[in-house]
Structure 1
Amino acid sequence: WRAVTKLGWEKIPALVKEFNDSQTASIALIENLQREGLTSIEEAIAYAKLIELHGLTQESLAQRLGKGQSTVANKLRLLHLPEIVQHAILERHISERHARALLALKNEELQLQLLEEIVEKHLNVKQ
């Protein structure tokens, strides 16, 4: 709108489409996924919402997004981490690779202890 106004245009070529709430939500989620700089948790949340909205499988979602099924599955697995770990990913205190390493630990208390150590000591994944 601002660009058109700045150019002094009174009319622009446009297609107006009507969408229901589910379609609107899907479009917003897909547009959000195309942004750069999303954290892996933000991607995972968007994938989960799209799967829920449309009753998709991970495979069908991956195909629609042009991603590998393993990429979608790995992102969704991050949602099984404790909320504190997910928050650390959102705040970019740890990487997705750190988070996947924490997923290998089945004990939540151990995951949280290791998270604290990773953040405090600025450990890389190999360490």
Structure 2
Amino acid sequence: MEIIDNSIVEPIEIRMIRPSKLLVRYALSTNSPELANLKSSIREHGLLQPIVIRPLDHGFEIVAGHRRFSACRSLRWRFIPCKIRDLSDKHAYEIQLTENIQRKSMDPIEEAEAYQKYVNEYGWGGVSDLGQKIGKSEEYVSHRMQLLKLPNDVREKIVHRDLSVSQALELTNIDSSLKSEFVDEIVNNKLTIKQIRVMKKNITPKSDLCTSVSHKNKSINLVKKSNLALKITLSRIDDLVEDAHGIDPKQRVEMIKFLMGLRLKIHSMIDDTIKFKKNYS
């Protein structure tokens, strides 16, 4: 999408400009490090790229460049270089979204919320339409929007880059009562997508772990967590057995025998947790 077509470039008085009513990103706090860095850059090098605005009945509205605008206003500039374009709400939103995607300045949750607004809240088009407008595949847009199914604590880990988008997507179809345990295990042990899928496969829909846990029954919940922890350990042992096939042949048989012995013990412990749960309840 071309941003500068048919635009007029000129300095506009800052007091005549207001933020967009259709923001695609969170506003920066006045004391944020990102804003401080941007101010420092503009102070030293000037504003290298004008912001994009559109005319309103009284003044102008920002289309793209909200953070540059905030930095310049904090620096007490009176005028700011602007590209002025006459745009509809829909077109303005698409430009704002496209610019942020091209700059890679949005975190995955900001992206997901922006796509959700476009498709569902504003009703400007479907996932396929949006993908074509911003130069992304339908699958890409759809996957980002699926992140909004996750609890807030999981979203925070995505924002802070403790959890990748690929890892997070594996959690969207897991029972809600198990998500926290899965997330902790993934983050603490830096599990690969393959390892996560093995974990999920070991937790079948018929398992006792997939029933919702009452807040009043914390003891049973501990048993379920124990079962989950053991199944996670089992999946790791399976990975180690696979790795053992690549070691020296002289040690391979002994190592595989040792690992398979551990595997049997873990299976026995899983059986014990199931029996304990039945007796306890």
| TM-score class normalised by the smaller sequence | 0.7 to 0.9
- 1:16 Cα deviation (Å)? 2.6
- 1:81 Cα deviation (Å)? 0.9
Using CA pairs under 8 Å that are at least 6 residues apart, name the structure with larger relative contact order, 1 or 2. 1
TM-score (normalised: structure 2):
0.37
Name the counterpart of 2:110. Answer: 42
- 1:111 Cα deviation (Å)? 1.0
State whether structure 2 residue 167 is matched by structure 1 residue 103.
no
- Segments of structure 1 that go 5 or more residues without pairing to the other structure are 5-13
Give aligned-pair identity as a percent.
Answer: 32
SS in structure 1 of the partner of residue 103 of structure 2: coil
Distance 1:104 1:15, change over 3 A: closer
Name the counterpart of 1:27. Answer: 95
Distance 1:120 1:63, change over 3 A: same
Greater helix fraction, Structure 1 or Structure 2: 1
Q: Distance in 2 between matches of 1:77 and 1:50?
A: 15
Q: Distance in 2 between matches of 1:118 and 1:72?
A: 24
Preserved CA contact (<8 Å) 1:33 1:46: no
Q: Distance in 2 between matches of 1:3 and 1:79?
A: 35
Distance 1:47 1:85, change over 3 A: same
Distance 1:63 1:22, change over 3 A: closer
TM-score (normalised: structure 1):
0.75
Name the counterpart of 2:187. Answer: 119
SS in structure 2 of the partner of residue 126 of structure 1: helix
Preserved CA contact (<8 Å) 1:40 1:75: yes
Greater strand fraction, Structure 1 or Structure 2: 2
- Segments of structure 2 that go 5 or more residues without pairing to the other structure are 1-10, 12-45, 49-81, 196-281
Radius of gyration: which is bigger? 2
Count matched residues: 117
What's the C-alpha RMSD, in Å, of the aligned pairs? 2.5
Judge which range, 47-56 or 108-117, deviates more.
Answer: 47-56
Matched to 1:84, the amino acid is: D
Matched to 1:99, the amino acid is: A
Preserved CA contact (<8 Å) 2:97 2:134: no
